[in-house]
Amino acid sequence: MSQRKPAFDNAEVRPSGQGEEPDFGLLFQAAPGAYLVLAAEPDFPIVAATDSYLSRVRRRREEITGRGIFEVFPDNPNGSEGPSARAVKSSLERVARTGRPHELPVLRYDVRRPDREGGNWEERYWKTVNSPVMGEDGTVAYILHHAEDITQRISLEEALEESDERLRFTLDAAGVGAWDLDLEHDRAERSLRHDEVFGYDAPLDEWNYQIFLDHVHPDDRERVGRRLEKALEVGGDWEFQCRINRADGQLRWIEVHGSPYAYQDGRPVRMLGLVEDITERKETEEALRRNRDRFRALVEATTSIVWSADPAGMVQEGSARWAEFTGLTPRECQGLGWLRAVHPDDRERVRKEGSRAIRERRVGEGEFRLRHRDGEYRYVAACGVPLREDGEIVEWIGTLVDVHDRKAAEEERRQLVRELRAKRNRLRQVFEQAPAGILVTVGPEHRIEIANPLVEEFLGEKELVGRTIREVIGEGSADFADVRDQVYASGKPYVGDEVCVPLGQDREEERYLNFVYQPLFDAEGEVEGILTVAVDVTEQVLARWEVDDARSDAEAARDETESILESISDAFYAVDDEWRFIYVNSEAERLWRRPRETLLGRGIWEEFPETIGSESHEAHLMAAREARPISLETESEGLGRWLQINIYPGESGLTVFFRDITERRKADEERERLYQEADEANRAKASFLAVMSHELRTPLNAVVGFTELLQAEVSGPLTDMQRKHLERIRAGTTHLIQIIEEILTFSRAEAGREEVYLQPVSVADLVSKTAALVRPMAGEKGLAFSVSVSDDLPPIETDSRKLRQILLNLLSNAVKFTDRGGVQLQASDEEGELCISVKDTGSGIEPSEIERIFEPFRQVDQSSRRRVGGTGLGLAVTRQLVDLLDGTIEVESTPGEGSTFTVRLPRKPDPDPGARQPVPASAG
């Protein structure tokens, strides 16, 4: 025996699976037809045999494999024809020598049944073809031996030639029934086995067509009938297969051959044939067919790329399907070139696995991504199997299967599993962490099956599962068990909102829970348990109570607000942020002459379109836009009234107060008109005064001038009497001039026409010069006259003419009203102000009069006025001048003892002339 057992060295039938190499051994074994594979060696040892062959020769595979063919099948020593083995051997030697197939003529080669079957020789006729299978070295390695068993045919031919007995014997030996049908009389002669085929232990007395047809399976009967009728018409040999119901009840397959041999009028009248039970053959064929299908399916399913590589792992050119799959050329796939189609991330791993397989000399396998010709990477499973010869690896055979779809499906399945697991975890989390108590009870006694931690917390107990609700909650809360009974009995869910429940271990904590009891049904639709979900809403309930309280407070406040809004005299309305009235008070109703029902909910600009574009409209828009309060007075054309409007932006919308100010506006306008009239009157007075001033001065100048010319005796000497009279004219004129000057000054000041010219003034100088004017008058009356000016007087800015006038008035007044004693002037700095006081020892002023002495045309008493002369305007003018200089004047007086007038002036008058505006005459 040779050690060479390549490819076929796989006598064992293994289950085929995806990703494995095709099992050539199995394929061969399953092949139809009787084949042997013989090694091309002197003894022609049997390397492999097909199942069909084994069945023909009634041998088991292990009985013949590895043994020489002639050792297994020796010549029949009683054979009538020459030694068969020699002819076969000669043919085999010839094939091995020539390398060409050789067909033997039909050959009798008897087969001995195995001992277990009695060891009889069976006469067999074979049609044999021997074909060479070339090895790598170009010599014949194997010979494929095909032996077709044509014994039946030979036997039938012989039967026709030989006697009935012989025929019968032969047929009987072959297990085949023969028949000879007389069509004219519908009667058949049969061989021994014929009736046995139809399940009869003993031959029947008679056999005819109808009996046959009765045995044919009803489903096949019509087909068979047609077939036979056609055979009679057409003539010639025929055959068919059909199922029969045997007499012993078995369903079998038979094959029937027929051949007409006697004719009358062109129609067959006698027919000869065979019938054979082919059930086993059918079954074998069926098995074979299944095997074939399996192999085909295997190949198709794997869509394998089969490849081969040399011992070093270099892929050999021509593995066409590599190229087809990857789009690479066969040459590109050569060696390790195919690696370039492997996904870069997988390439190193694939290379390592390949190296490992080669190093360790065993199967290499793995999954990786291979670039498909369309550019997509697809997962493939690769497997490489070493082929050994004499223990050395001569070649690697491998497959490559596209497993992308499977891989994707697997990935999808993994993803689904992950998701399911995540979902389950989430559900568990929800269950564990739900802000709701979740409880499942089963059975009418409500035995707890599931309870989440919150339920344990509610009940203040753990390990609830397995106990009944009544056990857990006790009789104190029996209601809850009753509710469950009801749900369980009715199958209807129960919802309880804000149920007050005593919770906690001692059941002393009152909580408010929302309950849902949901019945759970079994497959038959019967209630089997209850799912309870309980949510603690205590906080919400308490909060709502607070809100309710707050709301009723707010409602009370709103009522109060409304009554205020109704009671105020202003009109009021509120609009929302879409300008719709949401409130209108009764005053607004009155002013608009619109009941609020016709306004509420409606748009302000739709109801008062005439307002659009008005000042009020603009103000509303601006207040809303800039979110700031706006007040305005405007004349409403629609109402024909003046309105004062106060617009306040709110959180959404505006609130607006408005009132009718038409009357006030009228009063304002009237006042304005009066002011203007007064102003015009003042202007007229001023202009009158200016004219008066000029017009009076010119004639007075003539009187003064000519009087003095006369007194100067320019025009001639005067008598004493004339001189005395001229002096009276002069004094009268001087008095007149003084009066006119005072009137004019006062009137100018009254009219606001007196102007102030500010300049730095030396008070000491001004005081001494003014005093010098009055001193002679004092001297004439024998009065003491003293002036005291402090050394540290501040420099001041003021109107020097007016200040001189003030001092002159005060000093001359003091001299005028003092008959004894004296007049004293003091000037000093008093807290940064110039303070000048003029003190006399005159008659003084009665307290009742003292308030009025600064009023025009007032003198303390009319008698003194006549006595001392004067207009009565002096102090009035003085106070006006002091006012113009932004100062104050006051008087202290004791009747009979004298008076002190004190003037205080700022270092510089207030620059705002308005502040110095004289008060109107009426106010003086």
Partner 1 sequence: MSAPVVLVAEDEEDGREIFGTILRHNGFEVILAEDGAEAVRLATEHRPDLILMDLSLPELDGWEATALLKEDSRTAGIPVIALTVHVQQEDRRRAAEAGCVDFLGKPVEPRTVLALVKKYVGSERPAEARSVQQD
Q: How many residues bind partner 1 (CB under 8 A)?
A: 20
Least spacing, CB of residue 754 vs partner 1, in Å: 9
Site map (CB under 8 A) of partner 1, residues 1-40, x = contact = ----------------------------------------
Least spacing, CB of residue 924 vs partner 1, in Å: 22
Q: Does position 697 bind partner 1 by CB under 8 A?
A: yes
Least spacing, CB of residue 854 vs partner 1, in Å: 24
Q: Does position 797 bind partner 1 by CB under 8 A?
A: no
CB 825 within 8 A of CB 903: no
Q: How many Cβ atoms from other residues are within 10 Å of residue 756's Cβ? A: 15
Compute the distance between CA of residue 239 and CA of residue 96 in angstroms, rounded to an integer. Answer: 39
Q: Which of 211, 516, 537, 703 binds partner 1 (CB under 8 A)?
A: 703
Least spacing, CB of residue 723 vs partner 1, in Å: 16
Q: Does position 717 bind partner 1 by CB under 8 A?
A: no
Question: What is the chain's Cα-based Rg?
Answer: 73
Exposed / middle / buried, residue 469 (Cβ in 10 Å: 0-12, 13-18, 19+): buried
**How many residues in the chain?**
924
Compute the distance between CA of residue 721 and CA of residue 717 in angstroms, rounded to an integer. Answer: 12
Q: Does position 693 bind partner 1 by CB under 8 A?
A: yes
Least spacing, CB of residue 673 vs partner 1, in Å: 31
612-619: long-range contacts at Cβ-Cβ below 8 A with a sequence spacing of 24 or more? 616/643, 616/645, 619/645, 619/647
Q: Strands, E, within 505-662: which ranges?
A: 509-521, 527-536, 571-575, 581-584, 630-636, 641-649, 654-660
Exposed / middle / buried, residue 899 (Cβ in 10 Å: 0-12, 13-18, 19+): buried
Compute the distance between CA of residue 480 and CA of residue 502 in angstroms, rounded to an integer. Answer: 12
Identify the residue whose tokens are 């308490």: 542
Q: Does position 706 bind partner 1 by CB under 8 A?
A: yes
Least spacing, CB of residue 686 vs partner 1, in Å: 11
* Sheet containing strand 641-649, strands side by side: 581-584, 571-575, 654-660, 641-649, 630-636
Least spacing, CB of residue 790 vs partner 1, in Å: 29
Q: Does position 702 bind partner 1 by CB under 8 A?
A: yes
Please measure the distance between the N-terminal and C-terminal CA atoms of the chain and give it in whole angstroms: 160
Instruction: Provide the 3-class DSSP secondary structure of residue 643.
Output: strand
CB 166 within 8 A of CB 173: no
Q: Which of 712, 731, 773, 784 binds partner 1 (CB under 8 A)?
A: 712
Q: Under rule CB under 8 A, which residues in 850-889 are in contact with partner 1?
A: none
Q: Give 776's contacts (C-beta < 8 A, 6+ positions apart).
A: none
Options 484-492, 658-666, 679-687, 699-707: segment touching partner 1 (CB under 8 A): 699-707
* Closest to partner 1 by CB, 586 or 800: 800
Least spacing, CB of residue 818 vs partner 1, in Å: 28
* Closest to partner 1 by CB, 3 or 715: 715
Options 175-183, 483-491, 521-529, 704-712: segment touching partner 1 (CB under 8 A): 704-712
Compute the distance between CA of residue 475 and CA of residue 481 in angstroms, rounded to an integer. Answer: 9
Q: Does position 321 bind partner 1 by CB under 8 A?
A: no
CB 496 within 8 A of CB 532: no
Q: Under rule CB under 8 A, which residues in 801-830 are in contact with partner 1?
A: 801
| 799-to-364, 851, 883, 887, 899 alpha-carbon distances in Å | 125, 27, 12, 12, 26
Q: Which of 161, 374, 694, 791 binds partner 1 (CB under 8 A)?
A: 694
Q: Does position 686 bind partner 1 by CB under 8 A?
A: no
Q: Which of 172, 461, 708, 819 binds partner 1 (CB under 8 A)?
A: 708
* Closest to partner 1 by CB, 491 or 776: 776
CB 70 within 8 A of CB 42: no
Least spacing, CB of residue 760 vs partner 1, in Å: 16
For residue 909, what is the DSSP state?
-
CB 838 within 8 A of CB 874: no
Q: Which of 705, 794, 795, 847 binds partner 1 (CB under 8 A)?
A: 705
Q: Do the bridges between strand 436-442 and strand 527-536 make them parallel or antiparallel, or are there none, so unpaired?
A: antiparallel
Q: Does position 698 bind partner 1 by CB under 8 A?
A: yes
Site map (CB under 8 A) of partner 1, residues 730-749, x = contact = ---x---x------------
Q: Which of 714, 717, 721, 791 binds partner 1 (CB under 8 A)?
A: 714
For residue 551, what is the DSSP state?
H
* Closest to partner 1 by CB, 416 or 773: 773
Q: Which of 430, 709, 772, 919 binds partner 1 (CB under 8 A)?
A: 709
Q: Which of 232, 700, 718, 777 binds partner 1 (CB under 8 A)?
A: 700
Classify 540 in phi/psi space as left (phi over 0), alpha (psi -120 to 50) or beta. Answer: alpha
- Bridge partners of 901, per DSSP, are 838, 891
Residues lying near partner 1 in the complex (CB under 8 A) are found at 693-694, 697-698, 700-706, 708-709, 712, 714, 733, 737, 755, 757, 801
